[in-house]
Amino acid sequence: MALHQAFQDKSTAKDPRQTDALKLQARRHYVFDSNQRTCDESVIELIPSIRRLIEVRFNVEAIKKEIDANPDMPLELKLQKWEKMKLTSFARILALAYSYSLLTVTLKCQISILAADICTQFEKPREPVATGWSSYLPPGFANYFGSSAPSTSEPQKQPDVGSQQIFMQCIQYFTSTGIQQLFDNIEKAMEESLQNITLKQQMSKDEVRAIFESAEKRIFSEDGVEFCQLVAPLDENMNMVGETLQNLIRRLVRSLKSTECKDTTRALADYYLSTACGRIPGSSPAPLAKLIPPLSDTFHSISSTSFESPLRNSLCSSDVHQLAIAVFSSKIA
């Protein structure tokens, strides 16, 4: 019985079909992993420009400097400046959380879609087709008869590299246009969430976190912003681009609209927000005015790309990995 099993195992191991399947599987793993590493590098390279956009739009330091440089500022004007700093500090942290998270998931989806296309190229090669008398010739011998001999194979469809390159530039729409729309929505939602909270109000870290949650609900209400509209808005101009590019963009939109993508984006944003609130010193409730400066200062640590930064940890998260696999496996896109 053992001898029969050993012979059966040996026969199975030599099965060419199984060997080919294992080779394809190994190649898929290689393509996926190598493309994900490239994606991580791209995210890290784009982060400094995203951070600068946030700093320019929500310039907390300029407000602080103005208050400190004018000790004789009228009380009413000083209160106005503090109210502005309150809004700007909260909005800046929320803008960081969602712009970093959306950048990460968008590039992960794009790279996974292209990696899947690469695998399609070698998983489904066109089989040689021989017809007529040439089918009786030895392999390659029909070539000696020139163009008059029937073709022994169908042409291999080449990937549309140009469309793929343009597709990857979708992220430029987000970093130039979409992100400003995101900032607008965040500022409006945060202003509504803070309107009934005074600078003197005693607040704990959990209550500060609840302010962010309130703004998030406003941003992503039924009539709120859609992630895909910030990255790849589909409009009448879609008919002006090629079919391959249209297909890639539509797959990206399906990915960004998926429950998996939305949940992953919010999970990443939650990680940034929880980290920021957790780094506020002290454990007892304090007036909001005293919490604003340390909350604002957390921006500099959580926005970095250092080894232990939230960004690096998010790139290694299981949620992001599972999303990339789902898109790569065409379960979403």
Q: What is the pLDDT of residues 116-138, one digit of tens each?
A: 988 887 766 555 544 443 443 34
Query: Are β-strands 286-287 and 202-203 bridged in parallel, bridged antiparallel, or unpaired?
Result: antiparallel
Residue 223 pLDDT grade (very low, low, confident, very high; cuts 50, 70, 90): low
**Position 145 confidence tier, pLDDT thresholds 50, 70, 90:** very low
Structure-token pair, residue 198: 């005074």
In this prediction, residue 49 has a pLDDT band, given cuts at 50, 70 and 90, of: very high
Write down the pLDDT at residue 162. 76
The residue ranking higher by pLDDT, 238 or 289, is 289
- Which residue did the predictor score with more confidence, 192 or 129? 192
* pLDDT tens string 301-313: 999 999 999 999 9
**Alpha-carbon separation of residue 201 from 43, 61, 111, 209, 279 (angstroms):** 39, 23, 46, 15, 20
Find all residues with CB under 8 Å of 140, minimum gap 6, and list them.
none
pTM equals 0.82
Overall average pLDDT of the 71-86 stretch? 95
Of 8-22, 43-57, 175-189, 218-232, the poorest mean pLDDT is in 8-22
Amino acid identity, position 206:
D
- In terms of Cβ atoms closer than 10 Å to its own Cβ (0-12, 13-18, 19+), residue 139 is exposed
Q: Which whole-number Å values give the CA distances from 134 to 98, 137, 153, 155, in the listed order?
A: 62, 5, 11, 17
More confident residue, 226 or 99: 99
Q: How confident is the prediction for the chain on average, in pLDDT?
A: 84
